[in-house]
């Protein structure tokens, strides 16, 4: 108890210095937590993937389509209990910077395969009835103010022309990690237009989503699908939805790695600041440490004092940083809109923040402790800080 | 009456540990700051050298990239007959009708695929891009299943070195050469014969038509003719601006992310500098009093402490730049959001970045050192002499 009192008093001796150090720690833990959350947001698609869904696409690359006739053949493969298909539309809403994912989907089968997109029955029925209807996610609707009945014009880039869609439903996510920034419309509408304007491009599908009865059979069913179409004009590549999403992450892996590295750099910076603070405190108090030693206190007690102070400051700063992360992340997510469809703070991030602060506190106290325990009493009493 | 610089430098030397810790914090911030600027510069350089100013790219209207575009054979022929197009030595117009698609290739030593641009070119494709040189092997023969790979691809993807084969479009394609495009975007591409690739991919349309103009001043008129022609659904862009537009999103992303990080980090480093300088002032109260008693002015004291902080920042900044300069040996490859394909670029250091980084370091030193220096300048002589 007495020791704790002494530590507290020591920490408050230089109010300005301690306050600045705490402020630095708050900024660092906050930045670290935010960067970790950004990296997490990158993996959101992969983390939300279901393990009973496979994605089949053209083996050459995603820009090549597959024939519509594959649907029935995939359905006939053992272990498959649902097939849907879709096309990436890639249209522009007003201007290129308003990017959000748009898919032309095989209406009913697609929505059945994705139970995490929660759409009430009336809206779903209205969407299914209207050829030009579309469904938008809650987050997307919030960003651009889409309401039921609005007409959304999109300029086609892959599929030329001016397209118009009527909002018939707004879906919500089943849980916090569901992506609600997407835009769905009828594949049939797209196909009819293609039949009129560019016949060779009609009856082509961008990707198939396949539901399997048993998640353990993912590998064998994938192989069965790919063997089915081997040596055809459009060979397929089938993988689990998670692997498919991770493929996108790995494309921009260099950026993810850079953000990860940089998030640790900020911890190193603050470690230098904290170590500096502790080194100064110890230097100023050498005479006191010598006095304590002369009174008979051992090196263990000095170590307790210095480590205690360092950890106290570090953990106090970190606690503030962690507390601030929630409002800051919320504001950041609101500002970024659909760029990060899912922006959730993972429990692991909070743990990492805490561990980082602990490390900073411990590392910062090492050098001053060594110095104070080694100092011999006569020299210490002579020192003038 | 000014305080000598040696006095300032010696003060930093006396508290070596503290100086080193503070400077290393500043160095890390400057390192991040400089690296981001170098990356953005590298990306810009890669894309500016990709396009020739006199070349014009024709793509389908409203398609933003070559991969999304489709140009019918008859439209390509009409466009290629425009009188503004320069003629080569043999009287043929300088035109390359090209097809561009993406194929998924695995990186060497992994099973992680990335999208790579494969470009089918006409026989003048190379002539239209003077920056490209064959660095190994030979040019592909027209009408055969042969391909050549860019230097950025040959290093990183399996099956792309000279003598190896790639399988796509139901054929085996032999790599017969690698080319060096002077660190431009073409280094991240694979080239082959346009007609052969169109057959293999069963795409009966070209993606783009590249033409060289007689005189680059004719561009506006040429653009008006092409875009106003009822038979065509094309738009014309200068090759240089076409490639610059392709990377706008990536470049914006890198700079916003980098600047945000630099600003957040600089707060930490400035706090470090402030703590150091406050301690430096607090430890030398009697010294300051003595200096004032000797007749040094408040101004000189303030200047001396500010100079100390700036010198500290300069040491940190120089160290950060020193380490950042080694980044030039690395290359960075990521997916370009707009064209959806892999792009490799390097870190480029130039004098402007050096100056910006050092100024950034000095700014941090100034902000961190201003308040402590002010405190030092405002001390009363009698009180500070007593403080010993």
Among B17, B104, B278, whose Cβ lies nearest the Cβ of A279? B17
Q: What is the pLDDT of residues B77-115, one digit of tens each?
A: 999 999 999 998 888 899 999 999 999 999 888 888 889
- Distance, in Å, from the CA atom of A82 to the CA atom of A214, rounded to the nearest integer, reads 12
Q: What is the DSSP string of A172-236?
A: EESSTTS----EEEEHHHHHHHHHHH-GGGTTEESEEEEEES-GGGHHHHHHHHHHHTTTSSS-E
Q: pTM higher than 0.75, yes or no?
A: yes
| Confidence tier at B64 by pLDDT (50, 70, 90) | confident
What is the residue-averaged pLDDT of chain A?
92
Phi, psi (deg, nearest 5) at residue A149? 95, -15
CA distance A285 to chain B (A): 12
Contact A20 B17 (CB under 8 A): no
**Chain A interface test: which of B61, B249, B268 (most A C-beta within 10 Å):** B268
- Angle (nearest 5°) at CA B320 between B316 and B322: 115
What's the count of helices (H) and strands (E) in chain A, helices before strands?
Answer: 15, 12
Contact A200 B204 (CB under 8 A): yes
| Confidence tier at B15 by pLDDT (50, 70, 90) | confident
Chain B positions touching A252 (Cβ under 8 A) are 334-335
Contact B60 A252 (CB under 8 A): no
Among A156, A269, A284, whose Cβ lies nearest the Cβ of B265? A269
Percent of chain A, pLDDT > 90? 70
Chain B positions touching A269 (Cβ under 8 A) are 25, 28-29, 265, 268-269, 272
What is the residue-averaged pLDDT of chain B?
91
- Distance, in Å, from the CA atom of B71 to the CA atom of B74, rounded to the nearest integer, reads 8
CA distance B271 to chain A (A): 6
**Chain B interface test: which of A266, A357, A367 (most B C-beta within 10 Å):** A266
CA distance B215 to chain A (A): 31
pLDDT score of B368 more than 90: yes
pLDDT score of B1 more than 70: no
Helix axes B16-50, B5-14, angle to 10 degrees: 100
Chain A positions touching B335 (Cβ under 8 A) are 251-252
Q: Quick one: pLDDT at residue B223?
A: 95
Range in A104-108, A184-188, A381-385, B364-368 the model is least confident about:
A381-385
Q: What is the pLDDT of residues A35-55, one digit of tens each?
A: 999 999 989 888 889 999 999
Name the range with the highest mean pLDDT among A101-110, A282-291, B121-130, B253-262: A101-110
Q: What is the DSSP string of A139-153?
A: HHHHHHT--TT-EEE
Contact A63 B340 (CB under 8 A): yes
Q: What is the pLDDT of residues A237-253, one digit of tens each?
A: 999 999 999 988 888 88
Chain A positions touching B275 (Cβ under 8 A) are 17, 20-21, 273, 276-277, 280
- Distance, in Å, from the CA atom of B47 to the CA atom of B251, rounded to the nearest integer, reads 11
- Distance, in Å, from the CA atom of A363 to the CA atom of A275, rounded to the nearest integer, reads 7
With beta carbons less than 8 A apart as the criterion, state whether A338 and A302 touch: no
| Confidence tier at A342 by pLDDT (50, 70, 90) | confident
């Amino acid at each position: 108890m007495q020791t704790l009192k002494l530590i507290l008093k020591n920490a408050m001796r230089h109010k300005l210095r301690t306050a600045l150090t705490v402020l630095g720690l708050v900024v660092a833990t906050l930045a670290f937590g935010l960067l970790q959350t950004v990296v997490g947001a990158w993996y959101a698609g992969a983390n939300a993937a279901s393990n009973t869904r496979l994605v089949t696409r053209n083996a050459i690359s995603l820009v090549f389509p597959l024939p519509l006739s594959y649907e029935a053949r995939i359905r006939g493969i053992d272990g498959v209990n649902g097939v849907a298909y879709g096309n990436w539309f890639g249209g522009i809403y007003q201007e290129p910077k308003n990017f959000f994912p748009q898919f032309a989907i095989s209406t009913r089968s697609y929505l059945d395969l994705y139970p995490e997109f929660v759409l009430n029955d009336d809206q779903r029925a209205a969407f299914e009835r209207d050829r030009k209807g579309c469904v938008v996610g809650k987050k997307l609707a919030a960003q651009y103010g889409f309401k039921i009945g609005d007409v959304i014009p999109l300029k086609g880039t892959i599929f030329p022309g001016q397209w118009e869609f009527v909002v018939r439903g707004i879906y919500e996510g089943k849980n916090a990690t569901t992506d609600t920034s997407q835009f769905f419309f009828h594949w049939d509408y797209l196909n009819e237009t293609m039949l009129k304007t560019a016949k060779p491009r009609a009856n082509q599908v961008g990707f198939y989503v396949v539901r399997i009865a048993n998640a353990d059979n993912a590998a064998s069913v994938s192989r069965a699908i790919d063997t089915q179409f081997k040596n055809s004009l459009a060979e397929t590549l089938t993988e689990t939805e998670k692997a498919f999403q991770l493929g996108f992450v790995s494309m921009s892996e260099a950026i993810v790695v850079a953000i990860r590295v940089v998030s640790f750099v900020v911890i190193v910076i603050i470690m230098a600041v904290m170590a500096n603070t502790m080194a100064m405190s110890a230097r100023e108090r050498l005479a006191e440490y010598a006095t304590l030693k002369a009174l008979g206190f051992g090196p263990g007690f000095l170590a307790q004092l210095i480590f205690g102070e360092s950890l106290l400051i570090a953990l106090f700063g970190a606690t503030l940083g962690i507390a601030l992360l929630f409002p800051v992340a919320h504001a950041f997510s609101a500002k970024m809109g659909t760029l990060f469809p899912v922006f959730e703070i993972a429990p692991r991030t909070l743990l990492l923040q805490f561990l980082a602060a602990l490390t900073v506190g411990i590392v910062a106290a090492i050098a001053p402790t060594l110095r104070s325990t080694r100092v011999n009493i006569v020299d210490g009493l002579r020192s003038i800080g | 009456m000014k305080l000598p610089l040696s006095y300032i430098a010696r003060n930093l030397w006396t508290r070596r540990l503290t100086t080193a810790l503070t400077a290393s914090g500043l160095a890390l911030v400057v390192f991040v700051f400089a690296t981001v600027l170098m990356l953005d510069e590298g990306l810009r350089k890669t894309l500016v050298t990709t396009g020739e100013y006199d070349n014009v790219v024709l793509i389908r209207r409203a398609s933003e990239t070559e991969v999304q575009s489709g140009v019918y054979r008859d439209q390509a022929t009409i466009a290629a007959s425009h009188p503004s197009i320069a003629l080569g030595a043999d009287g043929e117009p300088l035109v390359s009708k090209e097809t561009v698609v993406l194929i998924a290739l695995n990186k060497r030593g992994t099973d992680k695929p990335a999208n790579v641009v494969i470009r089918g070119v006409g026989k003048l494709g190379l002539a239209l891009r003077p920056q490209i040189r064959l660095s190994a092997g030979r040019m592909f023969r027209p009408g055969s299943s042969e391909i050549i790979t860019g230097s950025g691809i040959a290093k990183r993807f399996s099956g792309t070195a000279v003598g190896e084969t790639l399988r796509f479009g139901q054929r085996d394609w032999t790599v017969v050469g690698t080319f060096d495009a002077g660190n431009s975007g073409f280094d991240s591409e694979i080239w082959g014969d346009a007609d052969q690739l169109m057959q293999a991919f069963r795409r009966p349309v070209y993606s783009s038509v590249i033409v060289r103009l007689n005189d680059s001043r004719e561009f506006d008129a040429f653009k008006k003719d092409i875009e106003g022609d009822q038979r065509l659904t094309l738009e014309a862009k200068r090759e240089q601006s076409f490639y610059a537009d392709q990377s706008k999103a990536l470049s914006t992303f890198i700079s916003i992310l980098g600047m945000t990080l630099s600003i957040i980090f600089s707060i930490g480093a400035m706090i470090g500098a402030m703590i150091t300088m406050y301690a430096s002032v607090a430890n030398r109260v009697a010294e300051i009093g003595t200096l004032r008693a000797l007749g040094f002015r408040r101004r000189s004291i303030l200047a001396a402490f500010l100079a100390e902080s700036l010198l500290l920042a300069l040491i940190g900044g120089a160290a950060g730049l020193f380490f950042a300069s080694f980044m030039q040996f690395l290359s960075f490859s990521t997916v370009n959001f707009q064209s959806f394909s892999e792009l490799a670029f390097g870190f480029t250091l130039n004098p402007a970045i050096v100056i910006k980084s050092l100024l950034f370091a000095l700014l941090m030193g100034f902000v961190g050192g201003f308040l402590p220096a002010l405190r030092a300048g405002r001390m009363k002589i009698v009180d500070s002499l007593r403080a010993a």
